[in-house]
Structure 1
Amino acid sequence: MHSERRTVQLGERRTPAFEPISGAGELKVAFVVHSLAESGAELSLARTVEARPEFADVTVFSVQDGPVADRLRNAGAQVCILSPTARRSRLGDILNRVPKLGKAVSATSAVMRLRSEFSTSCFDVVVARSLPSALIVSAISKRLAGTKVWSVHDRLATDYLKSEIWTFLLSRIFPKFFTGIIANSRATLDTIHISQSQNWLVVPPGIDVAAWNPADGGDYHESGATIFVVLGRISPWKGQELAIRAFHEVRLRNPETRLRIIGAPIFGEEGYLAELVALASELDLLEHISFEGHSSSPHETLQGCHVLVHSSTVPEPFGSVVVEGMASGLVVIASGEGGPVEVIGSGENGFLYEPRSVSSLATAMQTVLNMDDASRRKMAQLGMQRASKFDIATLAHEQFVWLEGVSSGHGGSYLSSSLR
């Protein structure tokens, strides 16, 4: 039985909050994902699970294994890998040689395994946290006893999905299988067709703000040449090429500047990294740009930089790296569309530039270079203040409070306090 309820502030409205009786397991939540790679949505899940309130008992089902699994287990979550583990058989060899067949068999196996798991387990809420997992949960929705929620981390738009058919299905048809929708930004929510009877929550992926804050407390100071940094996985839509071309324009007038590119290709995009290195060579920038690969401690890496450049060429669903850069005391320059628009007040706590424009990004970078130390310091400190609104402890609590409300029939539609 659920215990007495109270209310807590959640954005500009109020929502019922769950008051646990005692011990774990009061609210049983199953998260379904397709991967546990060290990518944005998976790392966001890990932070959310680590910061969950005591009343939430979490199990994570994933189609594929990955390094995030250990982090989830260390946080006290149960982790179940749905894909077949035995690949040593003759059938396994055949599947490995025919990738499309292997993926189809793996997906079918995941659906059957998940259906089996849910036939023997009881959850209050089942949360699909990716597009593939939403398909899997939809396929067995009639067999799931718990309340079904879709946590959407991607804009369901053609410019993002590259398919009008999939955009239609995902934005208009699949939401009907779920009682509630969680979106990571208003930009994402605006791409989802939600009925009046559905509950929704807009809550960004939080970060551990204290871990990102600079050791000197954000007392901005210039130390030698200005260092620009691009942080994120290497991928064409993340726009590292755009950043390199803009940096080339800026460096013509500011030869002492440097650019650091932090990140690695994850989903078979090594060829794009090779193209970036070739571009840097063509522009005679190899001595001024460093390709540093994946960083296991990006919060420490950013401490040696001054300006973070967000250069995505497709509207970012949210863009956690923007908040991470602000929390680190860096001046942040971001594309003026998608999630970053909900975080940055251009000219106040950062800068927004015209999307996909090399000249506009170069102009914003030059603007920062032209600022005096006092102006940069003020902007960096205002950025840190804005980033403090996105602390994971607060946002995880808001999310689990809302999940409990939806599961017990007391849900609603709310905007996170971080986006007020």
Structure 2
Amino acid sequence: MSAADQAGGAEPMHVLHVSHTGHRGGAELALARLLATERSWTATLCCPPGGDAFDGLATQGVTVDQRLPRLPVGGTRSRSPMLAARYIAALRAAASTLRCSPWFGRADLIHANTAAAGIICALANRGRQVPLVVHLRDLVTPESMGRFGYTAFTRLALPHVDGVIANSQATLASAADRLPAGVRRVVLQSPSGLRHRVTEPQVRSQVRAIGMVGRLQRWKGQHVFLRAFADVFRGTDCRAYLAGAPLFEETAYEQELRLLAVDLGIADQVSFLGHVDDVPSFIDSVDVLVHASVRPEPLGQTVLQALAHAKPLIATEGGGPSEWIRSGVNGLLVPPDRPEELAAALRKLAGSRELRVELATGAAATPGILSDAACAMAHAAFFEAFAPAAGSIQREGR
């Protein structure tokens, strides 16, 4: 039952969700899916203007305030002292805006959706007593966050949190030595758009379509996938489908991928689909799904989606995917950034319908994959642990 429909009893908990961007990324889409469910809490979202990740949430009973200032692109990975200074200034400006927001004073709990949002919220919350929960959606390492981003997050945000939600055991472990003693912590699956699970796999006799879902970013490994695909399927009637679009400074990578497809002689076999809204239908349309990140993936929502749809799956080992996949049982795991290993796995799957059926059946039987509604219930239980009598708490502005 949604917060608006609760009858009688205490006032629903008021959670202020903060995102550092409104553009589509894995973190933003996961939050949008969470807030689009029937929730037991009242939700307000603060984010910058621009982007369409949160379009439609107002019709789901979410108050959306888009007055946060935008952050400079590339600030967390910059080696430029000038850009780093601009980024810190923008974080402080965003914190000041958030602190002055009427929603900030009314919140029973603040939920920062990303590391950057965590810094903003921690700065805004200095001297106040509103519980702060930060969502860990990336591995807390210099490699994943950028050296500057890692330093800023571990110094300005993590020492001041009351709780953390991690999307995998690997993500939580990466932050463990930076968390103060007594901080509540939990691993919760992020909503992946799961409407239903496929229990009876449909495996075609031949492999004709191989898909990959993900933002076009170098670390997502689309170039590794294209090289492996060319090695196995060049000159055949098998096609590769890339679902995902670049953002900001990543547009050059898309052009690089298109040129690579030409150089590999597979340009007429590769389709660049851009952002795909209906990911479940896309997954159903392909014969094999590939996850090719070149460094450990914190969760890998594509992996969960493929398992839920009983799709033969190849993923790179490490991070979240290794927590869900038993190689040879419900998918295949290959070393990251090794196109020859990915090619060998693709060749193995293409050559054996029996193996594809075995992996699809194993995927259908994978335990623990939650629907978006179940994810929302798990998040609600964690939120409510910070304010068991939220309805009686009087915050500023009430």
TM-score (norm 1): 0.81
Q: Which residue of 1 aligns with 2:184?
A: 199
In 1, distance between residues paired with 2:50 and 2:292? 30
1:68 to 40, 53, 56: 53
Question: Which runs of structure 1 show a deviation greater than 4 angstroms over 4 or more consecutive aligned residues?
Answer: 98-108
For 1:368-387, what aligned pairs fall within 5 Å after superposition? 368-373=349-354, 375-386=355-366
Q: Which residue of 1 aligns with 2:220?
A: 238
In 2, distance between residues paired with 1:388 and 1:405? 22
2:153 to 170, 173, 188: 170
- 1:248 and 1:174, CA in 2 relative to 1: closer, same or farther beyond 3 A? same
- Is the partner of 1:191 in helix, strand or coil? helix
Structure 2 residue 30 is the aligned partner of structure 1 residue 50: no
For 1:330-369, what aligned pairs fall within 5 Å after superposition? 330-369=311-350
In 2, distance between residues paired with 1:403 and 1:140? 19
For 1:397-416, what aligned pairs fall within 5 Å after superposition? 397-408=377-388
AA in 2 matched with 1:42: E
1:189 to 172, 184, 190: 172
Identity of aligned residues (%): 26
Q: CA deviation at 1:381?
A: 2.8
Show CA shifts across 1:71-117 (max 9, x none): 221221111112369xxxxxxxxxxxx99998677544422221111
Q: CA deviation at 1:395?
A: 1.7
For 1:71-110, what aligned pairs fall within 5 Å after superposition? 71-83=56-68, 107-110=91-94
TM-score (norm 2): 0.85
AA in 1 matched with 2:283: L
- 1:379 and 1:120, CA in 2 relative to 1: closer, same or farther beyond 3 A? closer
1:248 to 203, 206, 230: 230
Could you list the runs of 5+ residues in structure 1 that have no partner in the other structure? 1-19, 86-97, 411-420
Show CA shifts across 1:251-287 (max 9, x none): 25x8343211111112231111111111110111112
Q: Which residue of 1 aligns with 2:297?
A: 316
**Equivalent residues of 1:326, 1:387 under 8 A apart:** no
**Equivalent residues of 1:331, 1:379 under 8 A apart:** yes
Q: Which residue of 2 aligns with 1:139?
A: 123
- Is the partner of 2:381 in helix, strand or coil? helix
- Is the partner of 2:276 in helix, strand or coil? coil
- Is the partner of 1:142 in helix, strand or coil? coil
In 2, distance between residues paired with 1:367 and 1:210? 31
- Is the partner of 2:385 in helix, strand or coil? helix
AA in 2 matched with 1:240: Q
- Is the partner of 1:386 in helix, strand or coil? coil
Show CA shifts across 1:17-36 (max 9, x none): xxx87379411101111112
AA in 1 matched with 2:370: F
Q: Which residue of 2 aligns with 1:36?
A: 22
Could you say which structure has the higher strand fraction? Answer: 1
Q: Which residue of 1 aligns with 2:272?
A: 291
- 1:122 and 1:382, CA in 2 relative to 1: closer, same or farther beyond 3 A? same
AA in 2 matched with 1:113: T
Q: Which residue of 2 aligns with 1:94?
A: none
- 1:106 and 1:171, CA in 2 relative to 1: closer, same or farther beyond 3 A? closer
Q: Which residue of 2 aligns with 1:391?
A: 371
**Equivalent residues of 1:323, 1:387 under 8 A apart:** no
- Is the partner of 1:395 in helix, strand or coil? helix
Q: CA deviation at 1:160?
A: 1.0
- 1:197 and 1:409, CA in 2 relative to 1: closer, same or farther beyond 3 A? farther
In 2, distance between residues paired with 1:270 and 1:142? 38
Number of aligned positions between the proteins: 372
Could you list the runs of 5+ residues in structure 2 that have no partner in the other structure? 1-5, 71-81, 391-398
